[in-house]
Amino acid sequence: MSRSIAENRKARHNYFIDDTLEAGLILTGTEVKSLRAGQASIGEAYAVERDGDLVLINAHISEYKGGNRFNHDPLRPRQLLLHKREITKLTNSIARAGVTVVPLKLYFNDRGIAKILLGIAKGKKQHDKRATSKDRDWKRDQGRLMRDRS
């Protein structure tokens, strides 16, 4: 039973998610305390490869209120903890045109460790977004029709 901290709701609207992967994060003490308070946003975040490692960019973890001078920078790049095989898989995916790695969910696992769910995603065009919305609306109407009939 994992406790969710932040979710990227627009990711499934803006991207086709091909595959998902769970990764750990290297965090400082004040970042963990801020996450426990639920002060995080991953809506604008993405992952890139730097020096053979994957790094999470633009993830906003607010400063901890009691952190005084030892507080962290809210938008600092955070290294992701993955196996080497997973890193090469993701960097090969990033190298292809139009593929990016977006965070889908930031949460604490059963052991209380902060994890992030990454999605290997391909961007949707405007007509794809309209088609997805149309399909979702039709499924909703179809469910209503079936429910009203019985």
pLDDT single digits (tens) 31-67: 888 888 888 888 888 888 888 888 999 989 888 887 7
Domain-embedded: residue 57: yes
Domain-embedded: residue 139: no
Range of the domain at 21: 3-124
Structure tokens at 139: 């499924």
pLDDT (average), residues 82-98: 85
CATH number of 49's domain: 2.40.280.10
How many domains does one find in the chain? 1
Domain-embedded: residue 17: yes
Domain-embedded: residue 138: no
Spatial separation of the C-alpha atoms in residues 108 and 3, rounded to whole Å: 5
Domain-embedded: residue 83: yes
Q: Are residues 110 and 1 in contact, defined by beta-carbon separation less than 8 angstroms? A: yes
Using a pLDDT cut of 90, give the percent of the chain over it: 16
Domain-embedded: residue 42: yes
Q: Are residues 117 and 21 in contact, defined by beta-carbon separation less than 8 angstroms? A: yes
More confident residue, 123 or 75: 75
Domain-embedded: residue 45: yes
- Per-residue model confidence (pLDDT) at position 71: 83
Domain-embedded: residue 137: no
